[in-house]
Amino acid sequence: MRIAYKIVKFLTIVAITLFTAVSFASESDKTHNDQNDGGRVNTKSEVEAYILHHIKDSHDFSLFSYTSDSGERKHVGFPLPVILWSSEGLVTFMSSAFHHNDDGHVIVEKNGLKFAKIHSKIYELDTDAATVSFDATHHATNAHKTLDFSITKSAFGLIVIGLLMLLWFSKLARQYKTKKVPTGFGRVLEPLVLYVRDEIARPNIGEKHYRRFTGYLLTVFFFIWILNLAGLTPLGFNVTGQLAVTGCLAIFTLVIYTVSGTKGYWMHMIWMPGVPMLIRPVLAIIELAGALIIKPFSLLVRLFANISAGHIVVMSLIAIMFTLKESLGVVGATGLSFVLSFFITLIEVLVAFLQAYIFTMLSALFIGMAVDDHAEAH
């Protein structure tokens, strides 16, 4: 545990330094790259823009892009449905309508409304506007954001991984009907299930209550772990690096331990026994803030930051190939990039598991504190 925390700490520090360095750099030279250069990513600022774009959610699923012999830019991937709640109600169309444009130049007209996509966000243009006009800080002046319920890349990844999990584990469940010991892939899954139950749920929640919460913990553990691993594949998912998704998970944990909290837990939180009367309200504020804000916030940010940072680090190291081409030569830059990104990817595989473990473990710990008969919320 101790070593694991140290590694996480180290990686977080590394990631934060790199992240801040990257964001500072992008602040200093904000040259808007031209969309018509074939989409090549060669310069340092383009690399930064590319990485930051990757970290964000996207409305279509693109695997890779290339420029054909005739100089035409080709994108390989598939579009995803866009579902908007606009001023006129529900609007749906496929994301291919934007033609991979991300700076508001392509206007989609639907139901008499005009939409443009700017930095992975879909804007609804004002009724009299024909094109998007930008102010000095590159904000749209005549368009506003819509409520976007699109099946984005993250939502799509979530569905795919969810179906995969359902398939795997329901198959494992069916195996138990005919035999005592699973065979095939179930043999891999069973020890993992046992691990979560015996090492995370049982010791943290306690023998008496752990059964009620094991289902949630198992779902969360496998969901985060598999999505973290999927994020390391060239498919380029970044689902667990989306604040919306980690926030959703953290709020689930918050709701579960708030709803299932015992009387003792609430007593210790609101009116701490064994403490002078004057200090009790102060403690209550601290305890409530800790339980309702800090705990879920730490869950939310930890997962988001670790996974986003991991993606940024891996992509930055891969980008060494282009950024250090001048100073190290093609072979040197490629070799250095390969070695560094190889090792950091190995660490990321570990982090993928570790973050799933930490999220599940802390959720179990918080639930355990809430359902414990002698709540230790001191």
Partner 1 sequence: METLLNDFSPGLFAVSTILLLALIALMVKFAWKPILNSLEERESGIEDALAAAENARKEMQNLQSDNERLIKEARAERDEMMKDARNITDNMIATAKEDAKEVTATLIEKAQASINQEKQAALAEIKKTVAELSIGIAETVIKKELSNKKDQLDLVEGILKDVTLN
Could you list the residues that contact partner 1 (CB under 8 A)?
23, 56-57, 85, 121, 147-152, 154-155, 158-159, 162, 165-166, 169-170, 172-174, 176-177, 180, 190, 193-194, 197, 211, 214-216, 218-219, 223, 242-245, 247-249, 251-252
What residues form DSSP beta bridges with 94? 81
Tell the smallest beta-carbon distance from residue 80 to partner 1 (Å): 12
What residues form DSSP beta bridges with 62? 77
Tell the smallest beta-carbon distance from residue 123 to partner 1 (Å): 13
**Closer Cβ to partner 1, 192 or 285, answer by number:** 192
User: Who contacts 172 (Cβ-Cβ below 8 Å, separation ≥6)?
Assistant: 182, 185, 186, 189, 190, 193
Give the residue carrying structure tokens 């360095």.
21
Provide the CA 365 distance to its chain's centre, in angstroms.
22
Tell the smallest beta-carbon distance from residue 36 to partner 1 (Å): 26
Whether residue 199 contacts residue 360, with contact meaning beta carbons closer than 8 Å, is answered with no
**Closer Cβ to partner 1, 4 or 160, answer by number:** 160
Tell the smallest beta-carbon distance from residue 34 to partner 1 (Å): 23
**Closer Cβ to partner 1, 162 or 335, answer by number:** 162
**Closer Cβ to partner 1, 2 or 177, answer by number:** 177
**Closer Cβ to partner 1, 152 or 341, answer by number:** 152
Whether residue 80 contacts residue 87, with contact meaning beta carbons closer than 8 Å, is answered with no
Tell the smallest beta-carbon distance from residue 168 to partner 1 (Å): 8
**Closer Cβ to partner 1, 52 or 97, answer by number:** 52
**Closer Cβ to partner 1, 204 or 341, answer by number:** 204
Tell the smallest beta-carbon distance from residue 120 to partner 1 (Å): 9
The H or E element containing residue 116 is strand 113-118
Tell the smallest beta-carbon distance from residue 9 to partner 1 (Å): 21
Of 356, 362, 353, 1, the residue nearest 205 (C-alpha): 362
Give the sheet arrangement for strand 89-94, strand by strand: 89-94, 81-86, 147-148
What residues form DSSP beta bridges with 117? 122
**Closer Cβ to partner 1, 121 or 325, answer by number:** 121
Give the integer Cα–Cα distance in Å for 365 and 358.
10
Instruction: Give just the sign of the alpha carbon dihedral 158, 161, 167, 169.
Output: negative
Of 190, 153, 148, 155, the residue nearest 173 (C-alpha): 190
Tell the smallest beta-carbon distance from residue 16 to partner 1 (Å): 13
What single string gives the DSSP state of each residue in 51-63? HHHHHS--SEEEE
Tell the smallest beta-carbon distance from residue 156 to partner 1 (Å): 10
Contacts by 165-173, CB closer than 8 A, 24 or more apart? 165/219, 165/222, 165/223, 165/226, 169/193, 169/222
**Closer Cβ to partner 1, 169 or 271, answer by number:** 169
